[in-house]
Structure 1
């Protein structure tokens, strides 16, 4: 597999990470460094058409780019737990510091406790500040200053701007990616990119029922990079692949062409099916069209394997004047992802209870009192709609399948 990766991070880390990546056959690297982590989203946006995947030197620039909605390619970041944190502990011990009295930013308390526990080090006086969206470098620097006044000996930071701020005020060390952590992140990224390439090549078939000819449809299908064929009276077949359809629907969330076609036709009902073969895609497209007809006169539905239907865009049912904006939004989301409003309300409660911590499929199943496969199906639908983020897998501790970690953004 040949792939070009954009490596994003501060000047002194980008080259080291890029050099490690270039050891992998078939990998070429575009070095994209910044002066401050806040520049990461702009860098990604400026080079989005030049690379096939993104590797960030840490979680902070990755989160900033993700929250700015500029990541349109597979992306991951180098994790600073494990070997990276242990390297820093060894350096501190070698320089005579008390590693049991330090303050650490960005990493979670769970990750720090796990790493220190494996090394046989106590953590009672170790203070952590996990990174979260909206946390500024000045807030992180203020955290280390408070802990210094409370008796910590060294500030350990993952953020270059914080290091530059504090290094003249107190003993400060900046975590740098270890060779092992870079290789681990690269393997994960290559798997994501390979999976994305396979998915993008999936066949997408659409069945469109229009009330009056094909006015405007040919031009819209051309924008999808697809072809159009008439298969019956006011009935048309659209052939494309997953990649163009994903881009044209903003990640399977909306179908702008539906509104434009609705201006020309009294009835516009479109069903897309996404499958690994033409036969599978056609069966799913027929199911999607059937549901679109039930939704309304102007509706588009995407059907996937595993009984997943997504309403891309439709005429939302009228709600009472007393309904709040939040109720309206939830009703639209419910229609789009194929879940009920009460289920979405319960999922929102689960999200609030979890705070910033990720949730496993088992935890969601237990909270909703449903089977795990039902929870997996719900979370998969939310992920496709951009309302949940898959963070990886967690061993279940048994011979069963690993538990998938999600962060809900509903």
Structure 2
């Protein structure tokens, strides 16, 4: 049974939970209503450990939670479609006998509204639109609608917010709410059900972690006696056992500073921050570099092979960090950190593979480059950019880009000059 926290205004939360009863065999819904969407941050901070996934009635509260948790893995929101806009317009037309004549509307984007009106081929007469985001306030939106209505510029208002709707109605402004429809809620619940199935798949996948102190032989040489070494190893094992308890996993000591932990993928991913703190503690206690390789697989054997590949890659990297290799060939370096990079060492494009083979560039490094460009949102970049973010030597980075240009996978698009001395840096772009 997966625990689902539902966040939104009271009326929306009640509707969502009502429809959610269809999934009561697999999901348990808990209401976390708010009066102001800014309360979302406090709710997710206080109750994030109490739920497996969050469901939001709207995109703004979802965005706040995403910023608060720095992750969107366990977040789902109800997509705001044209249906909600059409419903509110029909209500307005029915009760006021006027359609889009002198009306104020708050929307998350103007394009959303324009698309809805374009589809019904109706041009508004006098329509005032205010877009909102996570920094907007209920009072700000109230003032927008009230000022227009008091000045006689509008005859009514359409709003996405329950608090704004109730406030305007109390002030005597004809107001209609753009609320989620039954179809939108059911679609979000289907997505949520699929996400929980993914969680189940992760929880049943095997995860193997290999944790190794790189220079254990030097640590052995430093200690005063074999007893001190045994005390140190007991201290390390105690630290790892505490972490292992969080995973509900098992610890295996291999000797010479190498340890293996068996658990599940879901548990490892949920406790990645605890692993980071554990590694930091071990590094300080041993005054040595600690490397970590994590492998996932459907069997212990496949997960262990991936973990061995992962720890080897961690050792090869200058900054080390946690490296993960999934069962599908996806590789994650600097896992759990801001500079986390995900890419694959497999490739299905035969033509591209042949080009890389011709210039002796590995698929792994090419995918690493494309993943970095996507994460950094670069249109173009310099050799220094690559060297800095991928921890490559500038000479190797330059040779890499020259090789890609040779097989027409990249192009040199110009140079950037500086006021200081030295040659201008060439700028490159992938094709």
Q: Quick check: 1:244 aligned with 2:267?
A: yes
For the Cα contact (< 8 Å) 1:262–1:298, is it kept in 2?
A: no
Higher helix share: 2
Mapped partners of 1:65, 1:100: distance in 2: 36
Deviation per CA, 1:366-405: give whole Å up to 9, x if none: xxx99xxx9xxxxxxxxxxxxxxxxxxxxxxxxxxxxxxx
* 2:226 aligned with 1:206: no
State the distance in 1 between where 2:336 and 2:54 align: 30
TM-score (structure 1 length as normaliser)? 0.69
Within 5 Å, give how 1:184-203 maps onto structure 2: 184-203=187-206
The alpha carbon displacement at 1:334 in A equals 7.3
Distance 1:296 1:238 in 2: 24
1:117/1:214 CA distance change after superposition, 3 Å: farther
Residue 257 (structure 1) aligns with: 278
Matched, 1:128 2:149: no
Q: 1:348 to 1:207 in 2, by over 3 A?
A: same
Equivalent position SS for 1:93:
helix
SS of alignment partner, residue 81 of structure 2: coil
The answer to whether the 8 A contact 1:207-1:238 is kept is yes
What's the CA shift string for 1:337-393, capped at 9, x where partnerless? Answer: 89569955993456xxxxxxxxxxxxxxxxxx99xxx9xxxxxxxxxxxxxxxxxxx
User: Equivalents in 2 of 1:123, 1:65: separation in Å?
Assistant: 35
Give the SS at the match of 2:12.
Answer: helix
Aligned to 1:300: 322
Q: Which residue of 2 aligns with 1:109?
A: 110
What is the CA-CA distance between 1:29 and the residue it aligns to?
Answer: 2.5
C-alpha distance in 2 between matches for 1:54 and 1:66? 10
Q: 1:242 to 1:345 in 2, by over 3 A?
A: closer
Secondary structure in 1 matching 2:69: coil
| Structure 1 residue 92: Cα displacement | 0.9
Deviations 1:242-298 (A, max 9, x none): 2221122249xx711111111233242221112333233222212211122123596
Deviates more, 1:156-165 or 1:299-308: 299-308
Pair 1:48–1:307, CA change in 2 (3 A): closer
Indicate which of 235, 245, 252 corresponds to 1:229: 252
User: How much has 1:140 moved relative to structure 2?
Assistant: 2.3
SS in 1 for 2:100: coil
Unpaired segments ≥5 residues, structure 1: 315-331, 351-368, 375-410
TM-score (norm 2): 0.66
SS of corresponding position for 1:23: helix
Structure 2 CA distance for partners of 1:85 and 1:67, relative to 1, 3 Å: same
Equivalent residue number for residue 163 of structure 1: 165
Distance in 1, matches of 2:296 and 2:41, equals 31
For structure 2, the residue ranges without an aligned partner over 5 or more in a row are: 220-232, 344-364, 380-403, 410-431
The aligned residue for residue 66 of structure 1 is: 66
Contact 1:105 1:131 in 2 (8 A): yes
Alpha-carbon offset, residue 34 of structure 1: 2.4
